[in-house]
């Protein structure tokens, strides 16, 4: 059984984790706002320059050449923007994942201690119930580890896909 001090300590740790994760979430939002402001400013400057360049063209051939030259930088900038967004999201998500895993590990440890304590104090003849409880705990831990591995694989696949898209975008821009 958990003592009052252990319960208070657990709640305090949960509140500290919550505040830490809230700060990380705001930090991620702040980075996204900074990125979007930077991209918007750059797009406005570029749009102004492109408009000035378009107004100074002398014929249709020059206009077509100018448009063709805009595609590659656009593809590269789009890929870079996507990469930045992904980095922000994965960094923030990584903090949440670490906190969740730490909380889960602590909860599993507490539950295991509770089961061991119950087993030590269990009346004679309850060995089967204790064994079932330990088996259920082992099964739950195994299932949780499987989910963690699946999430890690999905994250790795997403990173690979984003890297492939980032590498292909500049090449696609050159073809135009």
Answer yes or no: is pLDDT of 89 > 50.
Answer: yes
Pick the closest to residue 173 from 39, 94, 76, 79 (CA basis).
76
Answer yes or no: is pLDDT of 30 > 80.
Answer: yes
Residues 80, 72 contacting (CB under 8 angstroms): no
pLDDT at 71: 73
What are 108-150's pLDDT values in tens digits?
Answer: 777 777 667 767 776 777 777 777 777 877 787 777 777 777 7
pLDDT at 176: 47
Q: What share of the chain is helix, strand, coil (3-state, %, to 5)?
A: 90, 0, 10
Name the residue with higher pLDDT: 55 or 133.
55
Q: Which domain holds residue 126?
A: 4-175
* Model confidence band, residue 50 (pLDDT cutoffs 50, 70, 90): confident
CA angle 97, 100, 104 (to 5 degrees): 140
Mean pLDDT (the chain, rounded): 78
Tally of structural domains, the chain: 1
């Amino acid at each position: 059984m958990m003592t009052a001090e252990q319960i208070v300590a657990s709640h305090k740790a949960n509140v500290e984790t919550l505040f830490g994760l809230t700060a990380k979430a705001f930090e991620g939002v702040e980075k996204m706002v900074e990125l979007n402001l930077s991209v918007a400013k750059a797009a406005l400057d570029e749009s102004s320059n492109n408009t000035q360049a378009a107004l100074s063209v002398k014929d249709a051939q020059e206009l077509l050449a100018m448009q063709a030259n805009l595609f590659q930088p656009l593809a590269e900038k789009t890929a870079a923007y996507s990469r930045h967004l992904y980095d922000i999201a994965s960094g923030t998500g990584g903090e949440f994942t670490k906190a969740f895993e730490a909380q889960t590990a602590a909860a599993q440890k507490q539950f295991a201690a509770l089961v061991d304590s119950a087993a030590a104090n269990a009346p004679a003849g309850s060995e089967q119930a204790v064994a079932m409880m330990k088996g259920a705990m082992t099964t739950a831990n195994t299932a949780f580890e499987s989910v963690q591995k699946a999430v890690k694989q999905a994250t790795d696949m997403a990173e690979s896909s984003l890297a492939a898209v980032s590498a292909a975008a500049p090449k696609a821009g050159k073809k135009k």
